[in-house]
A and B are shown apart, each in its own frame.
Chain A
């Protein structure tokens, strides 16, 4: 029992170690100790989704989760999605559909859409709206985000068929 400890976990596929305080959130740790910018705190209440990361494959709000509990887990941020200049199909779809303006909420949306498509590879409109209602875009690129989800679903289907 203590106010700080060393955690070992996997971050975007690589082993990582961090000395963290018990009151440190995941987004604070990623920003301050790993210089990652993709997950960012905005509403601070888990409502906007800007800080979305996955822990063992499950999306969580990085601003409402303590880094303490990451020990032994695998964390993925938007930074993991593109490799060697090749984007994830969801990222490609966001560009092609023009699904963002200022871009601040975009990594969070992309992380959620990936989980959405994992759970529902061919979601209907109602499923998409409900699934993404915990992500806020004040530029309101919502119509284009709907387009991007459809496009990404098609891209993933093509990729898995190939």
Chain B
């Protein structure tokens, strides 16, 4: 790892100044796990890291007074969410996802904002935030903007964030009547990066899928909403035929690439199988929100 400088601003404005707006070798740093890996592999040699850990505006998480949404500061660590009874009550899918996300030490330092800004399609939480309908508040020297989580990602390690822009927090709606589940499908070992990540949310009315939210990750270059598959399921009673149609629709609307975790054809099979299983799972109410 090459020599570098570290700055620790306490105010957002100072961070903007330090980061500048020129693409280059100055990077903001949250928990730093992903950055450290890239720096150690000499894939990335920053001249300066701007640590965000002292900026209070980026910390904390809480339920809104009307209990309609949860604001999560970008510097919130995964462990803080994992151990929160409030999160377990209102966003149980987040608690469920944590159990198999990396390992305890990573969860102790990795942050919600850093994880989103990294843009790696294999990460577990971005599809969950997307499926939940979270929005991301981005701040910068020119003010702030709010982007739906699923629109944050442009492609493989690419996001809409410009140099000098930071994720301030995310707002996650609490959605009564919905049940969510994150299926992490690994193929090379029990504990691995996912070959396929799939977050499924359903609002059921009896046996009928009144509304549905499906976001696929890992097998694609960015977390991707399966819009056609959602359309195929919306308002339909749960049946194997309906699930098969939804799977066909999903396979038609995304481009799956093969890699070390599986060939394209095999991952397509995994998507077909696990889409059906995940929807059945939430319809049966094993996961609730």
Contact = CB atoms under 8 A, between A and B. Distances in A.
Given A66-B32, A69-B53, A134 B106 contact: yes
Interface residues of A, number: 30
Interface string B79-100: 1000000000000000000011
B108 interface: yes
B11 interface: no
B108 A60 contact: yes
A115 B105 CA distance: 10
B40 A134 contact: no
A64 B37 CA distance: 7
B6 A45 contact: no
Interface in A133-159: 133-135
Contact of B109 (A21, A65, A68, A131): A65
Nearest to A21: B3
Contacts of A68: 6
Given A59-B105, A61-B106, A130 B4 contact: no
A133 B36 contact: no
Contacts of B286: none
Interface string A17-28: 000011101000
Given A60-B105, A115-B104, A134-B103, A2 B53 contact: no
Contacts of B65: none
Given A1-B7, A44-B40, A23 B105 contact: no
A124 B26 CA distance: 45
Nearest to B48: A1
Given A65-B36, A66-B32, A134 B102 contact: yes
Contacts of A133: 103, 190-191
Interface stretch (A46-54, A77-85, A88-96, A97-105): A46-54
Given A65-B36, A130-B99, A22 B105 contact: no
A29 interface: no
Interface in A24-74: 25, 44-47, 49, 52, 58-61, 63-66, 68-69
A112 interface: yes
A138 B178 CA distance: 43
A160 interface: no
A83 B67 CA distance: 50
Contact of A66 (B18, B36, B100, B191): B36
B5 interface: yes
Interface of A: 1-3, 21-23, 25, 44-47, 49, 52, 58-61, 63-66, 68-69, 112, 115, 130-131, 133-135
30 contacts: A1-B5, A1-B18, A2-B5, A3-B4, A21-B3, A22-B4, A23-B2, A23-B4, A25-B36, A46-B33, A46-B36, A46-B37, A49-B103, A52-B105, A58-B79, A58-B108, A60-B105, A60-B109, A61-B106, A64-B36, A64-B40, A66-B32, A68-B6, A69-B51, A112-B104, A115-B104, A134-B103, A134-B104, A134-B106, A135-B103
